[in-house]
């Protein structure tokens, strides 16, 4: 049977266009205290919990009782302004219904209080899509801390690796990645370049398909079998070790990378003393490139590879058993799910990656 998978939704800015009412509520209650709160200030506060926003705006010395009173006043004002008027954002309701039909478990994990979540899900008629609702008061730390997503996953009974978070806020994307979850970001609030940590960034949820969601939840890693291993006939042995981890081989090819490809692949190391040698080495001979897919693929492969320097790598790891030197270390594996997405695109087209 397929693993249970879940989608955890942020609410404001992803499902509901509640931003204007939040801004108006902040302006009303801070205005009463003689503090100007601009649309720019509001943007910076997106995805943060009220206590953090209030302390950032009114100063750290403010007491907890005052923070609570101001937060209550703000949320009452929000509900008065937003009640019955909140509109869904493009594509959100359609995607929710599609995921519900496909049997995905779903949660809302929002920094906003429970009453607001009830109000908005009620207004939009979507309360029955969610098995779990986690709000800002259920956790001790707000986003970018991962608590809110980890708690949602736990209550859903789904492993973090099998959850996808849909977010619009920078703090929310960071929280999702820290929770070890895949993240789909939508540019409703922040531009593309601010959301780079996400696994997929879209301008609207309208074009997102079930296939996109399934691919995001399944983690992938790029593996390269380096020239030293190729020369010694170790391609099969290394591939076999990775298959035995329970990972699925979904793409495989042999190629002789040119220098430009090697430079792009190792771009994060540009400027380091070993960068030129590394680029020359990886483009010096034909290699095998592969994509493996499965739960925790990145971490499992990194563990099977062993330390970067074969002298430090444990026996039984690929580098420990076969690596010759820190340069000739037999294998490359992506170091995060986000890096993997980018690296895979350098070596494979969508058509070359198989679902089976
Ligand atoms: P890879 O990217 O190849 O999978 O290796 P890695 O993550 O374990 O290591 P990374 O830090 O990404 O470095 C990439 C490759 O650069 C060479 N290197 N040399 N101090 C050095 O001389 C040094 N440090 C790294 C290694 O060949 C490493 O695989
Ligand atoms: Mg690396």
Question: For position 214, what pLDDT does the model report?
Answer: 85
User: Is pLDDT at 2 greater than 50 in this prediction?
Assistant: no
pLDDT given for residue 1 in this prediction: 30
Name every residue whose Cβ is closer than 8 Å to that of residue 107 and which is 6 or more positions away in sequence: 6, 7, 8, 9, 130, 131, 132, 133, 134, 152, 153, 155, 156
Q: What pLDDT was estimated at residue 157?
A: 93
State in Å: Cα 221 to ligand 2 middle.
12
- 304: pLDDT strictly greater than 60: yes
Please, what is the end-to-end C-alpha distance for the chain in angstroms? 15
**Ligand 1 neighbourhood includes 333 CB (under 6 angstroms):** yes
Q: What is the pLDDT of residues 142-159, one digit of tens each?
A: 999 999 999 999 999 988
Q: Where exactly are the structural domains of the chain? A: 1-217, 220-352
State what percent of residues in the chain have pLDDT above 70: 99
Catalytic site includes residue 332: yes
CA pair distance 16, 86, nearest whole angstrom: 7
User: At how many degrees (to 10) do helices 337-347 and 297-305 cross?
Assistant: 80
Mean pLDDT of 8-26: 95
Tell me the average pLDDT across 120-131. Answer: 96
Q: d(Cα 78, Cα 116) in Å, to the nearest integer? A: 8
Ligand 1 lined by 162 (C-beta under 6 Å): no
Mind listing the pLDDT tens digit for each residue in 167-215?
Answer: 999 999 999 999 988 899 999 999 999 999 998 999 999 999 998 898 8
Average pLDDT (4-28) is: 94
Q: What is the pLDDT of residue 323?
A: 98
| pLDDT tens, residue by residue, 309-327 | 999 999 999 999 999 999 9
Count the Cβ atoms, other than its own, within 10 Å of residue 61.
7
Atom of ligand 1 nearest to the CA of 268: 12
Task: Write down the mean pLDDT value for the chain.
Answer: 93
How much is the pLDDT for 13? 94
CATH class of 220-352: alpha beta
Ligand 2 centre and the CA of 240: distance in Å? 21
pLDDT at 280: 98
CATH superfamily ID and name for 1-217 = HAD superfamily/HAD-like (3.40.50.1000)
């Amino acid at each position: 049977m397929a693993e249970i998978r879940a989608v955890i939704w942020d609410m404001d800015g992803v499902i509901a266009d509640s931003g204007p009412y939040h801004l108006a509520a902040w302006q009303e209650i801070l205005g009463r205290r003689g503090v100007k709160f601009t649309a720019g200030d509001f943007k910076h506060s997106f995805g943060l919990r009220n206590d953090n926003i209030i302390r950032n705006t009114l100063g750290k010395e403010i007491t907890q009782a005052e923070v609570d009173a101001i937060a209550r006043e703000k949320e009452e004002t929000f509900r008065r302004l937003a009640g019955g008027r909140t509109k869904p954002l493009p594509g959100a309701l359609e995607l929710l219904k599609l995921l519900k039909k496909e049997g995905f478990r779903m949660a809302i994990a929002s920094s906003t209080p429970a009453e607001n979540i009830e109000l908005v899900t009620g207004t939009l008629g979507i309360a029955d899509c969610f098995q779990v609702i986690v709000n800002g008061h259920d956790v001790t730390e707000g986003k970018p801390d991962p608590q809110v997503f980890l708690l949602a996953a736990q209550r859903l009974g789904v492993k973090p690796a099998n959850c996808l978070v849909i977010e619009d806020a920078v703090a929310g994307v960071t929280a999702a990645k820290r929770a070890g979850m895949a993240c789909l970001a939508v540019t409703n609030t922040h531009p593309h370049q601010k959301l780079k940590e996400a696994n997929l960034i879209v301008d609207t949820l309208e074009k997102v398909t079930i296939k996109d969601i399934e691919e995001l939840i399944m983690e992938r890693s790029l593996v390269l079998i380096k020239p030293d291993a190729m020369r010694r006939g170790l391609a099969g042995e290394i591939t076999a070790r990775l298959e035995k981890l329970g990972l699925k081989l979904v793409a495989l090819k042999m190629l002789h990378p040119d220098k430009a490809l090697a430079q792009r692949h190792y771009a994060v190391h540009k400027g380091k003393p070993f960068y030129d040698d590394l680029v020359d080495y990886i483009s010096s001979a034909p290699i095998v490139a592969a994509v493996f897919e499965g739960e925790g693929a990145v971490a499992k492969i990194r563990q099977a590879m062993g330390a970067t320097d074969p002298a430090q790598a444990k026996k039984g790891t690929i580098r420990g058993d076969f690596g010759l030197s820190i340069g000739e270390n037999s294998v490359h594996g992506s170091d995060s799910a986000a890096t993997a997405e980018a690296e895979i695109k350098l070596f494979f087209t969508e058509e070359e990656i198989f679902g089976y």
